Amino acid sequence: MSDRDLFILNHRADFEKFLEEFISLKSISATGEGIEETVEFLQSLLQDLLGAKVEIIKTEGNPIILASLKGKKSKNVLFYGHYDVMNPGDLSKWSSDPFKLTKSENRFFSRGVGDNKGQLMAQILGLYTYRCIHKEFPFDITLLIEGEEEQGSKNLRPTLKHIASTELSDIDMAVVVDGSFSADGTHVLRMGNRGLFAFELICETGSRDNHSGNLGNVMDNPFVQLLKYLDKIYDYKTGKVKLEHFYNGVEKPNVQEQSWINDLPYDKEKIQKQSGIKRLPLDKEAYYQNLMFKPTFNFLSVKSGYMDKGIKTIIPHQASIKVDCRLVGNQSISEIKNDLETVYCKELADGSLKLEYLGAIPPEHTIADKKQIAWISKAIQQGSGGVHIEPIMPGTVPNYVWKDILKVPVFTVPYANYDQHNHDINENLTQKAFFDGVRISYELLNQG
């Protein structure tokens, strides 16, 4: 058994206790509950286990933790994670207390264990394992841990712009540990991610609901009006977005990216079972094209009128629809905004429609040299037993900030299982995924 695996085996119980304490500190970014205690816990942990120099950076929201570790080489690698979690929602639907780490069927269950506390703790413990075995780090390391990722990382960009020329002036590359690895259980290296643009359309046709027998055919139904407005920007028959510049910047995979896609697994039945979807009418090529290189236009919420059991014969006075778009390539958020405001110029002016923006994160795509890709791929392979390279992460993380502000390549290495149920009830992280994450974090230093 290697020194690495022997150390992890001997400290397994301690590692789980660290995770258990971390989970118990709620750190819900939407409400602020447990944020202060969580920051204090991480500050002490980073100082005690890693000997880190820790700075707590105040923002207009939750603090950002910046930890610096000195190494033998002047190369400085930034590792990113986040300590905040989503609200657990309806507690009655959970199998156990979401803020008490529970073990069952070789999995840890709790809110945030997959996204992203378990992954962050695995990072820290992997660095700790390396330090205990080798006594010093091979290169300089910067840990940047934010507390608002689940709210769109709204203060990450301004904070980075403020400290880019000082605390982060010597960063050479960024490694983001977030997300889920492949459905077949193989860990992955991702070279980019889709972006996010979200908005809400709100239509009001009165100040209150009215009886449909009294004002039927007289009062306009806001849901019907909303469908008419929606038809201006989306063709439901073809699934195409009608905004003039929406598809500008959408690109096809290059030769190298296509080669990586060809090597990826595709088990239709397993994907359907793990995701819970009823139908997956795609072959492998279309599946990965749709996930990585095509934008989405998704209706995430539709609200209007009476929504309880039975019938209530009213004409609602308000209807709303929320849309999130996963953006790819070089799609421009500003162009899409301008298109929306142009299309709805008349309606916005006369007040018959309201348009509210809910979130905006540009897509990111890293061009890296072969040595960097080989180093990280080998570390994942040595730490977990296998590796896939994915050109684009289907989900959204704020990776654009590292590329746009720090001007460095960005690599995403998720430690969580595909079926982690993040943002859902019974969120989980397999025990294997957690300890593989510790080993990968160790190997990112050992192979570097």
Question: Is residue 274 a part of any domain in this protein?
Answer: no
Quick one: 40 and 189 in the same domain?
Answer: yes
Quick one: 230 and 302 in the same domain?
Answer: yes
From 361, 379, 409, give the residue that closes a domain: 361
Predicted confidence at residue 219, as pLDDT, reads: 95
Quick one: 200 and 341 in the same domain?
Answer: yes
Average pLDDT score over residue span 367-396: 94
Nearest-5° Cα angle at 385, 382 to 391: 85
Domain count, the chain: 2
Asked whether the predicted pLDDT for residue 274 surpasses 90, the reply is: no
Asked whether the predicted pLDDT for residue 201 surpasses 80, the reply is: yes
Tokens of 343: 């299309």
Average pLDDT score over residue span 346-366: 95
Q: Is residue 87 reached through a cis peptide bond, with omega within 30 degrees of 0 on the bond before it?
A: no
Predicted confidence at residue 322, as pLDDT, reads: 98
Asked whether the predicted pLDDT for residue 54 surpasses 80, the reply is: yes
Predicted confidence at residue 378, as pLDDT, reads: 97
Quick one: 88 and 149 in the same domain?
Answer: yes
Quick one: 110 and 185 in the same domain?
Answer: yes
Q: What is the pTM of this model?
A: 0.85
How many CB atoms within 10 Å of residue 122?
Answer: 27
Q: Which residues contact residue 319 at a Cβ distance below 8 angstroms, ignoring those fewer than 6 apart?
A: 202, 203, 221, 222, 223, 225, 226, 302, 303, 304, 305
Quick one: 157 and 119 in the same domain?
Answer: yes
Predicted confidence at residue 368, as pLDDT, reads: 87
Predicted confidence at residue 102, as pLDDT, reads: 98
Question: Is residue 410 a part of any domain in this protein?
Answer: yes
126-152 per-position pLDDT tens digit: 999 999 999 999 999 999 999 999 988
Asked whether the predicted pLDDT for residue 369 surpasses 90, the reply is: no
Question: Is residue 285 a part of any domain in this protein?
Answer: no
Asked whether the predicted pLDDT for residue 273 surpasses 90, the reply is: no
From CA 106, how far away is CA 376, in angstroms rounded?
Answer: 27
By residue count, the chain amounts to 448
Closest to 397 measured CA to CA, from 367, 427, 361, 433: 361
309-326 per-position pLDDT tens digit: 999 999 999 999 999 999
Q: Which residues contact residue 12 at a Cβ distance below 8 angstroms, ignoring those fewer than 6 apart?
A: 435
Q: What is the CATH number of the domain that holds 335?
A: 3.30.70.360
Predicted confidence at residue 37, as pLDDT, reads: 98
Predicted confidence at residue 199, as pLDDT, reads: 98
Average pLDDT score over residue span 274-293: 90
From 361, 385, 415, give the residue that closes a domain: 361
Confidence of residue 161 (pLDDT cuts 50, 70, 90): very high
Is residue 444 packed enough to be buried (19+ CB in 10 Å), middle (13-18) or exposed (0-12)? buried
Q: Tell me the backbone φ, ψ of residue 436, rounded to 5 degrees.
A: -65, -40
Predicted confidence at residue 124, as pLDDT, reads: 98
Predicted confidence at residue 397, as pLDDT, reads: 83
Quick one: 426 and 307 in the same domain?
Answer: no
Question: Is residue 123 a part of any domain in this protein?
Answer: yes
Closest to 397 measured CA to CA, from 112, 153, 174, 87: 153
Asked whether the predicted pLDDT for residue 275 surpasses 90, the reply is: no
| DSSP helix/strand/coil, 389 | strand
408-446 per-position pLDDT tens digit: 999 999 999 999 999 999 999 999 999 999 999 999 999
Count Cβ neighbours within 10 Å for each residue of 322-335 and write b for 16 or more, e otherwise. bbbbbbbbebbbee
Q: What is the DSSP letter of 221?
A: P
Average pLDDT score over residue span 195-207: 96
Predicted confidence at residue 209, as pLDDT, reads: 94
Q: What is the CATH number of the domain that holds 46?
A: 3.40.630.10
Average pLDDT score over residue span 19-28: 98
Quick one: 394 and 348 in the same domain?
Answer: no
Question: Is residue 269 a part of any domain in this protein?
Answer: no
**Percent over 90 (pLDDT), the chain:** 92
Confidence of residue 398 (pLDDT cuts 50, 70, 90): confident
Quick one: 333 and 374 in the same domain?
Answer: no
From 307, 331, 361, give the residue that closes a domain: 361
166-177 per-position pLDDT tens digit: 999 999 999 999
Question: Is residue 264 a part of any domain in this protein?
Answer: no
Quick one: 10 and 62 in the same domain?
Answer: yes
Asked whether the predicted pLDDT for residue 238 surpasses 90, the reply is: yes
Predicted confidence at residue 311, as pLDDT, reads: 95
Question: Is residue 340 a part of any domain in this protein?
Answer: yes
Quick one: 15 and 158 in the same domain?
Answer: yes
Average pLDDT score over residue span 299-307: 95
Domain of residue 205: give its range.
195-250+295-361
Quick one: 356 and 397 in the same domain?
Answer: no
Check residues 394 and 98 and name the one with the higher pLDDT: 98
